[in-house]
Amino acid sequence: MKERRPVGKDEHLYRRGYNKPEHNYMNPDGTATSRVFRLREKDNGELSVEVRSLTKPEIAIVDAKKYFLFEISNAEVCEIEGLSTHHDPIYSEDYSNDAHAVIVGMTPEDDVIPGLLARKSRRVPV
């Protein structure tokens, strides 16, 4: 496992959620549902996010027709017992992302923490 450095508590994080109503990623009032922050089995215990200071909303959202973008303070993430955020840049031949980070400390079965994160987040207009 590669060594990762923690994301500063003064940072903010972006997280995408599908914008199709059938996916149920946004409440009628425009806030995130817990699904935005829920781990899937394929996530291997790491929730992908992007560090706001290292990217722009237009880049982080990837495709505004397919996704909504939400923002959360890393300090609020780290206030939740067991959670931490680490830089995890992606470099490959066909894709690179210096802003990529991961939130660790959740399990796919967790119903509480995703809800807490969703309530602490806000939608970013793109």
Q: Is the pTM of this model over 0.85?
A: yes
**Phi-psi category of residue 35: left, alpha or beta, with phi > 0 → left and psi -120 to 50 → alpha:** alpha
pLDDT tens digits for 69-102? 999 999 999 999 999 999 999 998 888 999 999 9
pLDDT score of 20? 78
Q: Which residues pair with 10 in a beta bridge?
A: none
- Could you state, in order of their start, the residue ranges of all structural domains in the chain? 12-123
The beta-strand segments (E) located in the chain are 12-18, 46-51, 67-73, 84-87, 90-91, 96-97, 100-104, 122-123
Which residues are CB-neighbours of 114 under 8 A, at least 6 positions away? 34, 35, 36, 37, 38, 39, 106
pLDDT score of 15? 98
What average pLDDT score do residues 35-51 get? 95
Q: Which residue is it, tokens 């909504």? A: 68
